[in-house]
Structure 1
Amino acid sequence: MKRIVIADDSATARMVIRRCLEIIGLGEADMVEAPNGREALNRLKEEPTDLLVTDLNMPVMDGETLLKWVKGSPRLTDLPVVIVTSAGNPAKEVELTTIGAFAVLNKPISPATLLKTLEPLMQ
């Protein structure tokens, strides 16, 4: 993976996600951070991206709206989107996966969980 966009309104959460990605061997990737979904979209439009990790609940544009936009864009539709949430709502997880989320992970995320989730993409 060459480029990863991390969207979360919490700078601490973005740092934790970045650190987990580094621990599982993706430290060489260009990691671009965004404080909300709209900023993440702007980053995604700048250059090709291999992975989007986004929080579900953010101001300006939430993770679900961002996911729908990505999956509705012919240029971005194949982009794997991992949604991280503190909601822990199984029905919402099914809904997000149906829309096209690659995975829905509950906070706090761990390197082990992230590695297990992303392994198919890292081949």
Structure 2
Amino acid sequence: MPFLLHHEKTAQQAFAVLRMVRRTFFRVTRMDFQILYGAYVRPLLEYTNPVVYSGRTKDLTLIERVQRAATKMVADLKSMDHEMRLVVLDLSPLEYRRLRGNLILTYALVEQGLANGFFYR
């Protein structure tokens, strides 16, 4: 599956979960959001990120739109800008989490000795 199609499918699945949460809960508090987002939405957005990430801005904005829409669901935060909502909800941007995941994967490869073929000849 091409990268763009994978990202589009992932975004569609995450938006479907957000719609389900919106239909199920009348009012989403900060605590509810942290539990629901962490359990149902974030895993969809981060699944296979180190492998599938293509680096194109179109793919990044597609996935970031999901996080922006999700943070707007929280009561009393709709009028804030995205960065402020992330601070209030104690979330990190997806770009930061993607970089962190890449660093963890690289460290694991180096520690297990699997990186010899990649970095050394």
Whether TM-score is above 0.5 comes out as no
The structure in which a higher percent of residues are strand is 1
Q: How high is the TM-score relative to the length of structure 2?
A: 0.31
TM-score (norm 1): 0.30
More helix by share: 2
Bigger radius of gyration, 1 or 2? 2
Q: Which has the higher contact order (CA 8 A, sep 6+)?
A: 2
